Structure 1
Amino acid sequence: MFKKLLFAAMLASSLGAVTAPASADIVVRVAPPPLRGEPVPEPRRGFIWVPGHWDWRGNHHVWAQGTWIRERPGYMYYEPRWTERDGRWHYEQGRWNRGDRDHDGIPNRVDRDRDGDGVPNRVDRRPDDPNRR
């Protein structure tokens, strides 16, 4: 009986130890090579095309071919990219963010003019006017 209780206690305590993999920040001094040209396939219903990009693996850049990923309704996909800051190259992984109804690059939850009519939401009588999109 004691062994069963001990096993159950160990199992219960280990459940909190399971973690999801974290995305590490990748910062390097070596600029990525120029992007490779690749043909863009015909559109596929329910999917979006993510073009090829340079990944960082080990100590060098590795080309990752373009691929199709399934759409997520209400979300926008931001492609992987490299940006230079202070003489170093920072890699941003591709990611999904909540939607952007007016396509101004500002997520809806912080957008000051969701329907893009030029009237701030706080004074707009119809901040989500579907005729303004």
Structure 2
Amino acid sequence: MNVLRSLFKLLLVPLTLGALSSAPAFAQPEVIIREAPPPMRMEPMPGARPGYAWDRGHWRWEGRGYAWVPGHWQPVRHGARWEPGHWQARGPNWYWIEGHWVR
């Protein structure tokens, strides 16, 4: 019986650590807002930068209101194109769709 208990404890630690580390570190909770975001700001796109894709600025929900996040460069992933993050209306709610690479 002690051998089974020791074996169980020995297997429990790696399984627990594996389960805790399996979620991506960048995962964020889904953002759902009832208030529509303000109109997009016109932001000049800088000149081309080899090896990078421009991620345009966007409005981010800060808990009590929207705050502007300026555009920035994303390192290119070969064979993929950058799909910028955006707000999407679904009924009376607004959902944030995170920017991502599309193959």
Whether the TM-score (by the shorter chain) exceeds 0.5 is yes
Written as runs of structure 1 = structure 2, the 5 A alignment for 1:91-110 is 91-98=96-103
Written as runs of structure 1 = structure 2, the 5 A alignment for 1:50-69 is 50-69=55-74
Count of residue correspondences: 93
Q: Considering only aligned residues, what root-mean-square deviation do their CA atoms show, in Å?
A: 2.1
Report the identity percentage: 34
Name the residue aligned to 1:15: 17
Q: CA deviation at 1:13?
A: 4.0
Q: CA deviation at 1:53?
A: 0.4
Out of 71, 75, 79, which is 1:74 matched to? 79
| Structure 1 Cα separation of the partners of residues 64 and 24 of structure 2 | 24
| Structure 1 Cα separation of the partners of residues 31 and 15 of structure 2 | 33
Out of 24, 29, 36, which is 1:24 matched to? 29
| Structure 2 Cα separation of the partners of residues 87 and 14 of structure 1 | 40
Amino acid at match of 2:74: I
**CA offset digits 1:57-77 (Å, max 9, x no partner):** 223211110000111111121
Unaligned runs of 5+ in 2: 1-5
Amino acid at match of 1:12: P
Answer 1 or 2: higher relative contact order, Cα 8 Å, separation at least 6: 2
Unaligned runs of 5+ in 1: 99-133
